[in-house]
Amino acid sequence: MKRGLGGAVIVVVLLFATLFPVLWTLLSSFKTLKDIVTPVPTLLFQPTWQNYADVLATPSVQHGLTNSAIVVGCSLGVGMLLGVPAAYALVRHAPQLKSDVLFYVLSLRFMPPVAIAIPFIVIYTDLGINDTRFSLILTYCLTTISTIIWLGVPAFEQVPREIEEAASLEGYTEFEVFRKVALPVAIPSLIGAILFTFVIVWNELLIALSLTSQNFTLPVVAASFTTMGMEVPWGIINASTILLALPPFLFIGVIMRFLNRFFRAAH
């Protein structure tokens, strides 16, 4: 019990240290520029909502949010639909291909985006779909499918082979074994994979910056707040950081609840 208490103290201290930047951001988002740019940090100040008002008044925030939600939602959806069964099939039905496919999938992310951005622009312009959500979704599917396959394989490897075999003996089709037996067991780990994929696509900047002018995503908006034009609006940067982190935070909160409910049900 004693050790537990000491450990808890350590955890709290660690948490404070790790979350301090976020808290400091939150605090700064309510400050005026004068209170932010000081030699001695101010803890007592007249709070202001102005920074938030400024961010929310920017039309590109809403636009970017819609685009991000659609683009990330679709590419993640396609990624799951195609990636999860593929990962399972690699583990159970085509283990001889597993190693090669996995490495191929990993290698898709070796090339720096700078080099492929220009060919993508040329190809999409020829097809008449440059600067559309569709072309961005297509491009991101490359990331989502490959990452979900990559992370899905270990998730399915954890599933005990015996229960699948038992199900087959009972006459389940291959598809049913996958959907009714393997998938439920692998889901907790799969959710980690999906979370990870989500984070990567949600934060992707360079491709979005290069491929879009009208259908830009939230990271591009964040970049427009944070990169420098003239005056660096530190207050607005802090407020936009908090605001732009909220939607994925809520999304993840929902997923975590689901995850926990699942764990409780399982044990």
Q: Which is nearer to other proteins, 52 or 202 (CB)?
A: 202
86 within 8 A of 123, measured Cβ to Cβ: no
Sign of the Cα torsion 202, 203, 204, 210 reads: positive
Minimum CB separation of residue 52 from other proteins in Å reads: 15
Q: Which is nearer to other proteins, 56 or 232 (CB)?
A: 232
d(CA 160, CA 121): 46
Minimum CB separation of residue 86 from other proteins in Å reads: 4
Minimum CB separation of residue 98 from other proteins in Å reads: 10
Q: Which is nearer to other proteins, 50 or 70 (CB)?
A: 50
Minimum CB separation of residue 192 from other proteins in Å reads: 5
d(CA 242, CA 238): 6
- Location of structure tokens 């998730």: 155
| 110 class by beta-carbon count within 10 Å (0-12 exposed, 13-18 middle, 19+ buried) | exposed
Q: Which is nearer to other proteins, 74 or 244 (CB)?
A: 244
Minimum CB separation of residue 90 from other proteins in Å reads: 7
Pair of tokens at residue 78? 């396609």
d(CA 188, CA 42): 44
Compute the C-alpha angle 186/190/191, nearest 5°.
125
Q: Which is nearer to other proteins, 70 or 223 (CB)?
A: 223
